[in-house]
Amino acid sequence: MENQDCDGIVLLAKTPGLTSFSALYDVKHALNTNKVGHTGTLDSFAQGLLVVCTGKLTKLAGNITQFDKTYSAVIKFGVETDTLEYTGKTIKTAPLPNLQALEKAVKAWTGTVMQKPPVFSAIHVDGKRASDITRSGGIADIPARKINVFSAEIKETKLNEKGFVEYALVDFCVSKGTYIRSLARDIGEHCGSAAHLVGLYRTKIGNFNIEKAAGYDLLKQFTIENVILQSNNEQKSEPKVERNSKLQQEIKNRLITLDTETCMLCGFNVVKLACDKSFEDFKHGKKLHSKMFDTDLHSLKKETSSAVFSPDGKFSGLIFNNADGRIEYKFVLN
């Protein structure tokens, strides 16, 4: 039987080797629900933070994807692969860069830039995933798009015997829709080399941090040496997902209920319905107007979402102030 008390948000630390879907196994079993949805996937080779919505709050998943994100990435130089990560096929080789060239390249790819997404990605081209088109031998023509790299900092390097950079660990803070795999490729090209990712660690999504995630203690320290060891030892097939009782208990203990504070962490405005009649009108989808709420809706910033709470303080749904200043429903919880 579906658990009626599973509505909430789970911060989950995904381990490398699992798909984002498989990583949800322990969430489903801990909360006894199949209603789970994450707000942004991680590649199977990557590790780090997943923000997971559960129960009735799966409706939130598609509405809290606008966050900036923070990553640590280990980049290998001298080789570019078709997937832009280490499991792909080599398509280009080039000399290793020196440290000065790498520093200039990282600086050049900081700020507002135009990025060409990977052809192995979930982006849709003419109604099909780019990755499916590429695997079937077609050409996925994905236009470059504007992204923001708010910060990029080299934290660690591994040099060869001649002093050239073989690997670099770089911390990035980026806007929604940024592909770190593409940044690795572009930084490699800019410093006169070639490059791909061998490790990726998502540490922050908006106001949510990996340190608060269930399973955080299961992650190994993210260093160049540990990432190289992981990539060398990783199985060709995804490891079998097995029950982890300790992790499931941690998930239960850390389930976040959707109160006003959490809604603000999610980036929503918070408004409250003025009275029981307003609550009934809201539940039944009647036309929205400011008198229904404790806030003048037109005072809210355009193109923002607001979490709606009942008079007794329960989360009840989401509304949106569009570009024209009209207030519309996103969804109502029944």
Task: Return the structure tokens found at 202.
Answer: 């998502």
Contacts with 329 (C-beta within 8 Å, 6 or more apart), sequence order: 285, 288, 317, 318, 319, 320
- Give catalytic residues, as residue numbers: 43
Beta pairing partners, 49: 13
DSSP state string for 236-255 = SSPPPP---HHHHHHHHHHP
Q: Tell me if 24 sits within 8 A of 36, measured CB to CB.
A: yes
Alpha carbon distance 90, 81 (integer Å) = 4
Any idea which residue has 């998930």 for tokens? 251
126's CB contacts (< 8 A; 6+ apart) are: none
Q: Determine contact, residues 58/34, Cβ cutoff 8 Å.
A: no
Cβ-defined contacts of 273-279 (< 8 Å, 24+): 273/308, 273/309, 273/310, 273/311, 273/316, 274/311, 275/311, 276/311, 278/311, 279/310, 279/311, 279/316
Determine the Cα angle at 159 with ends 171 and 223, to 5°: 40
The conformation of residue 59, written as its DSSP 8-state character, comes to: G
Please state, in angstroms and as integers, the Cα–Cα distance from residue 118 to each residue in 131, 157, 175, 309, following that order: 9, 25, 16, 41
